Structure 1
Amino acid sequence: MRLKYLTAGLLALCATQSWADAEQSIRQSLDQLNFPMAVSAISETPINDLYQIQLDNGRVLYGSGDGKYLVQGALIAVNDGQPRNLTAEVEAKAISEVINGIPADELVVFAAEQPKTHITVFTDVDCGYCRKLHEEIGELNGLGIEVRYAAFPRAGANSKTAEVMQSIWCADDRQTAMTRAKQGKSVTPATCDNPVDEQYALGAQVGVQGTPAIFMANGSLVPGYKPARDLAAEAIANK
């Protein structure tokens, strides 16, 4: 019996040491590459000697235990013919924590009277599909979807669009200012300490490449416009 417990203990120690060695090797490789994104955690995967590298922005890479190989892509588990995208699941969970952690007072929120869930939309006031989506805000709210806008001026932080969006975030009534901008109307210029640049940078970090970029409450991404009823159904399914 003692031998059994001793063997189990040695195996656990070896496994721990192996993981620790792998973590050190992977971190050294990333340091040598001057990798631009901080690593929040490194953990084992179901595949022997393949490790999951969790980045601060919620995204995931994979690395070999010796740190000589890095892999970017989806890890798919197939059980009884039913595929599961393990990478997407991990990324969505981490991204939901990042996105849902944005303080409400730093967003432009269109609340629902009887909320069922919420979506966070990285938006650009000059984007045609962003404007089309905004036309359906009332319908989305009526279907129980709270819409939270974050700023993503596609032309960059120093663009005219960014200036307009800063004025929206500095307005006394952000909702009205947002609606005016989405309708192509003028917005009273205003300045204040605002989060537009920060949200633009955050959007880039979590993978926003165009607008509207719509994040469900669980962190999954809808990259583009969807009609209100379809979007509401997807939001409720991914709350």
Structure 2
Amino acid sequence: MTKLLSVTLSTLALVCASLIFSGSTQAQADQQIKTEIQKKLGTNAKVRSVTPAPVSGLYEVLVGNDIFYTDASAKYLIQGEIIELTSGKNITEQRQADLNRIKWTDLNSANAFKTVRGNGTRQLAIFSDPNCGYCKRLEKSLQQLDNVTIYTYLIPILSADSIQKAKQIWCSADPNKTYIDWMVNGVAPSGKSDCSNPLDKNLTFAKTYGITGTPTLFFTDGSRFPGAVQVTDIEKKFASLK
């Protein structure tokens, strides 16, 4: 019995050592590919990681938040999507969604103004620039939503005038009304712009989480929708969260 136990433990030790060696070898291969890809891309693009892709012989290359693929020799850079034919699952799209996901609790509601309609049970966060045409289109569409709480985070990234308008909106007596008056009704904000505001904090958050365009929407599961999303798509997302 003692001899059998000894043999079993020895076998387990060999298996563990083999797994550690295999993992180390894979990590070295990934690093070599990453180094080679970075060398070829130069300093204009930052390669965040290189990991084996779901398809044998391919590697996922993460540049910023964008997904590419390469071969083991780092000779080719492939731009496109991997789709599993048996299930129809878009593996690249799912991976991209996971990369773009945040924790809802990372959002600080004190840095946003809040709109509540109906019972307010459904929650949505929007990063917006007051001079963004797509943001204005989205806001007009959002007027159709009911039973929702919307947190609007101003990130003035388009121009100096965006900064001025964002400050005037935040400093107004009713930021939400002033924002909607401008975005939906075309009534420009006026008044003071020298109050304490969260704009710098919002811009820092946007940079940290790769929010490079407006509008950008987030749902309570952390998923991200960029652009002027259709209300029907927002409703579908809300339905999936139940």
TM-score exceeds 0.5: yes
What are the equivalent positions in structure 2 for 1:1-239 lying under 5 Å apart? Answer: 8-9=15-16, 11-32=18-39, 33-37=42-46, 39=48, 41-54=49-62, 58-79=65-86, 82-97=87-102, 101-112=106-117, 114-127=119-132, 130-135=135-140, 137=142, 139-140=144-145, 142=146, 144-151=147-154, 153=156, 156=158, 158-182=159-183, 183-187=185-189, 188-191=191-194, 192-195=196-199, 198=203, 202=207, 205-206=210-211, 208=213, 211-217=214-220, 218-221=222-225, 223-227=227-231, 230-239=232-241
CA distance in 2, matches of 1:29, 1:106: 42
Unmatched segments (≥5 aa) in structure 2: 1-6
2:3 counterpart residue number: none
CA distance in 2, matches of 1:62, 1:36: 15
Amino acid at match of 1:169: W
Equivalent pair of 1:151/1:199 in contact (CA under 8 Å): no
CA distance in 1, matches of 2:72, 2:103: 28
Amino acid at match of 2:130: V
Secondary structure (helix, strand or coil) at the match of 1:125 reads coil
Secondary structure (helix, strand or coil) at the match of 2:230 reads coil
Equivalent pair of 1:170/1:194 in contact (CA under 8 Å): no
Q: CA deviation at 1:190?
A: 0.7
TM-score, normalised by the number of residues in structure 1: 0.71
Amino acid at match of 1:24: Q
TM-score, normalised by the number of residues in structure 2: 0.70
Q: CA deviation at 1:152?
A: 5.1
CA distance in 2, matches of 1:52, 1:206: 22
Structure 1 residues 112 and 22: CA distance shift in structure 2, 3 A:
farther
CA distance in 1, matches of 2:45, 2:74: 17
Unmatched segments (≥5 aa) in structure 1: none
Amino acid at match of 1:181: W
Tell me whether 194-203 or 173-182 shows the greater mean CA deviation: 194-203
CA distance in 2, matches of 1:38, 1:103: 29
Q: Aligned residues, how many? A: 227
Q: Which protein is bigger by CA-based radius of gyration?
A: 2
